[in-house]
Amino acid sequence: MDHEPDRRAFLGAAAAVAGGLTLAPESAMGQPKGANAGAYALPADLSAHNALSLVLGRAGDKSVTANLVAADRLEAFIEYGTEAGKYALKTPPTALAPGQPVEVAIPDLRPGTRYFYRLNFRRPGDAAFNARAECQFHTQRKPGDTFTFCVQGDSHPERPQMSEPNLYARTLQRAAADRPDLYFCMGDDFSVNKVRAVNAESLTAPYLLQRPFLSLVAQFASLYLVNGNHEQASLFNFNQKGELHDVAVGVQTARNKLFPMPAAEGIYTGDARAFRGIGLLRDYFAWTWGDALFVVLDNYWHSPAQVDTGFPGGAGKREDKPKNRDWWDITLGDDQYRWFKRTLEGSKAKFKFVFAHHVLGSGRGGVEMSEFCEWGGKPRGKGAGGDFKTKRPGWELPVHQLMAKHGVGVFFQGHDHLYARQERDGVVYQEVPLPADHLYATHNEDAYTSGTKRANSGYLRVTVSPDEAQVEYVRCWLPKDETATQKTGDIAHSYTVKARS
Ligand SMILES: [Fe+2]
Ligand SMILES: [Fe+2]
């Protein structure tokens, strides 16, 4: 237990993250210290989001949560109503301290209703409030309603070779213009790979960096984060002593303070187990929205074995994947599997959409990987043995077969950094493209041996109507790369998923 004093000291710092994390001055906002220092910021015309950003989450039938972060001391309130330009209701004024995220509940809403709102703020001593432009959100849709949700793949701001901030902002603004009710990030959005000194500030920096970017769309849409391997938010790290444990606690604490993820409450079910030093993980959750069931799975918080890359640490090493691993060791865990099975069995929704960072949380490919171990039942790797019944006692079916049995329409994943659409047993495996790859690559395409593949960048727009869901890959380009035949907003690929009867 000789690591305990250090851990206590760190957890004290983590509590400081929770209660009063400190941001840089407004002029430097969007360029937090630590990971990605100085390089990755919004274009100047969007810098208001550095000074004050709003992210919506946990949209329900009668409430939504707005998470506010300001660079300076401010007072803010939200006025809202059901008609554009008319705001009959408002939240009480909220005092914002520099860098301290505050959740503002917007209660007493009507189900199945679009609301229009404005964020108002003033500096201490100012008489008048400044009003932001009008935004909107929607409460839980009723069956039969047509609505849109959007999905982005790995944004990887720490990798200049596949992530350009101006293109990222452009993609987010293009998605916001669709006015989606819901917005999903597939993971690898908050990498701590470049963190060398582990402390609250360095682990929070990737989350602060994303705030002004994601607020571009999440001021209009309830945001849902999927955990990726580069977040290093994992049970394997949590179960280690010292630095790795501190990383797991620190990043999950920052994530839940800066982004309002659901727990098992209201219209949501999900992970009910609290972790020491963190509380509820808010990592896997499910809910119904209109005619669709949405399920977000977590590949990393329930596997005692290391799933993918490790935390590089102070020397920048230890990033390797585990050597000679037994793929049966990688797991969603009994609790998450049972909850997933219950969720699918209990849903009569016409559409079922499932999200995870990747099949088995590691490897490359979609349907190719879906055949193995707890996802598909076959052993993987040279000399690997074992069968599903003995490796997963009490599990009715492997994950893929469970999804096929219960009519999952689309399984969304990230991690492979391209657009790829495949199908197996009626389940679409949809690899989601990068939002900000300014080299417009088609990474890992060799791993996909079937289906339709397209190059980056852009996002997915899914329009759910009573009879079918239309999935569209919306391309996004930097202005300098647009031509007569390639423009932001072009549809690179499209298909429909029929409603289950
Ligand atoms: Fe990635
Ligand atoms: Fe990944």
Please give the distance, rounded to the nearest whole angstrom, from the Cα atom of residue 425 to the centre of ligand 2.
25
Please give the distance, rounded to the nearest whole angstrom, from the Cα atom of residue 165 to the centre of ligand 2.
19
Q: What is the CA radius of gyration of the chain?
A: 22
Closest ligand to the CA of 362: 2
Please give the distance, rounded to the nearest whole angstrom, from the Cα atom of residue 419 to the centre of ligand 2.
14
Closest ligand to the CA of 154: 1
Q: Give 449's DSSP letter.
A: -
Please give the distance, rounded to the nearest whole angstrom, from the Cα atom of residue 205 to the centre of ligand 1.
18
Residue 147 in tokens: 């609505």
Helices 4-20 and 243-258: crossing angle, nearest 10°?
10
Please give the distance, rounded to the nearest whole angstrom, from the Cα atom of residue 414 to the centre of ligand 2.
7
Every domain of the chain and the residues it spans: 48-138
Q: Are 134 and 115 in contact (CB under 8 A)?
A: no
For residue 317, the model assigns a pLDDT of 60
Longest dimension (CA), the chain: 73
Please give the distance, rounded to the nearest whole angstrom, from the Cα atom of residue 118 to the centre of ligand 2.
36
Please give the distance, rounded to the nearest whole angstrom, from the Cα atom of residue 126 to the centre of ligand 1.
45
Q: If you search the block for the tokens 């550095």, which residue do you land on?
A: 50
- String of DSSP letters for 321-355: PPTT--GGG----HHHHHHHHHHHHH---SEEEEE
Residue 144 in tokens: 């039969």
Q: 461, 444, 452, 457: which is closest to 428 by C-alpha?
A: 452
Residue type, 198: V
Which residues sit opposite 280 in a β-bridge? 274
Residue type, 309: T
Name the CATH code of domain 48-138 (choices 3.30.70.260, 2.120.10.30, 2.60.40.10, 3.40.630.40): 2.60.40.10
For residue 31, the model assigns a pLDDT of 35
For residue 17, the model assigns a pLDDT of 35
- String of DSSP letters for 220-274: TSEEEEPP-GGG---HHHHTSSTHHHHHHHHHHHHHHHHS----SSTT-EE---E
Please give the distance, rounded to the nearest whole angstrom, from the Cα atom of residue 155 to the centre of ligand 2.
10
Average pLDDT, consecutive stretches of 10 residues, N- to C-terminus, the chain (501 residues)? 32 33 34 49 95 98 98 97 97 95 96 98 96 98 98 97 98 98 98 93 96 98 98 97 96 98 98 96 98 98 95 67 84 98 98 98 97 95 83 98 98 98 98 98 98 98 98 98 97 97 79
Which residues sit opposite 458 in a β-bridge? 475
Q: Are 264 and 271 in contact (CB under 8 A)?
A: yes
Please give the distance, rounded to the nearest whole angstrom, from the Cα atom of residue 44 to the centre of ligand 2.
30
Q: Are 171 and 481 in contact (CB under 8 A)?
A: no
